[in-house]
Amino acid sequence: MSVSKRALIIWIVILIISWELIARVLLHDLSLIPSFSKVVKTLFDELINGNLLETTKISMLFAIKGYSISVVMSIIVAMLCIKSYIIKSFFATLYKILSPLPSVAILPVILIVSGLNSNSIILLIIHSVFWPMLSSNMMGFSTIPIVLSDFSKNIQMSFISRVFYVYIPSSISHIITGMRTAWGRAWRSLISAEAIFGISGNTQGIGYYIYYHRSFANMTNVFAGIIIIIIISLIIEELFSFIEKQTIAKWGMKNVR
């Protein structure tokens, strides 16, 4: 186990112990901030009866669907930007205008256009993911050594072949970094939209689960939902770390601890 992972585990244990002590010793009203042990009991109860598993599955499916569409779109657009300066300048302008906009800020517009359904969530995730992914892809493509680019042209490789055999492999570190950042934005946007607006189309995701129980002041359920979000985030982070170690770290493109 690496030093960083040991430190992570130690600090998590310290935070859990502090939470339990503060809730039991300093706070008199456990209904506002319940103890960790009480939250864990509620968490297991909700997992056993299937409520939390179902809501988590719904949110994950939304996140993965919107994320996958955005990643593919960003690669296609980046390819077109390489091919055409007009397309590149157009998307550079859109990036400067739309990228700074928080997803929650444009959600009312998306709801007007698409309605209160699952398409609104997908569009929201696409907005969150597409711009950082496109930026990372373009940054990676722009750092490719000119020798490789010229050589691929001299041996008359097709444009598609150059993209898949030169551009993407040479910029894989930027692409993976972009995917890592983009997933965080997708996950946060989804949960925020569900929690703030209480929507997930005709279904109820983990954000809606938190929103619903907050309305009835069921704080143990609220914290149970928050813990699930944290666990999923840690798992995804470890997944990306594993991918980095097996690819760009092994190839000597980046030091990963």
The structure's pTM equals 0.82
Q: What pLDDT is attached to residue 64?
A: 92
For 188, phi then psi, to 5°, come to: -65, -40
Contact present, 174 and 143 (Cβ < 8 Å): yes
CB count in 10 Å sphere of residue 55: 24
One-letter amino acid for residue 104 of the chain? V
Q: What pLDDT is attached to residue 90?
A: 94
Residue 84's SS3 state is coil
For residue range 127-164, what is the model confidence (pLDDT) as tens digits? 999 999 999 988 888 888 788 877 887 888 888 888 88
Most distant pair of Cα atoms in the chain: their distance: 75
Instruction: Report which of 213, 222, 203 is spatially closest to residue 54, judged by C-alpha positions.
Output: 203
Assigned fold of 46-249: MetI-like fold (1.10.3720)
Q: Domain-by-domain residue ranges, the chain?
A: 1-33, 46-249
Instruction: Report which of 49, 47, 55 is spatially closest to residue 211, judged by C-alpha positions.
Output: 55
Per-residue pLDDT of the chain (257 residues; tens, 9 = 90+): 677 778 888 999 999 999 888 888 776 666 678 888 899 999 999 999 988 898 899 889 989 999 999 999 999 999 898 888 999 999 999 999 988 888 878 888 888 887 777 788 888 889 999 999 999 988 888 888 788 877 887 888 888 888 888 888 888 888 888 888 889 888 888 888 787 766 555 567 888 888 888 888 888 999 999 999 999 988 998 898 888 888 777 766 665 55
One-letter amino acid for residue 27 of the chain? L
CB count in 10 Å sphere of residue 127: 22
One-letter amino acid for residue 219 of the chain? M
Q: What pLDDT is attached to residue 158?
A: 82
| C-alpha to C-alpha distance for 177 and 108, rounded to whole angstroms | 30
- Token look-up 């993911």 returns 129
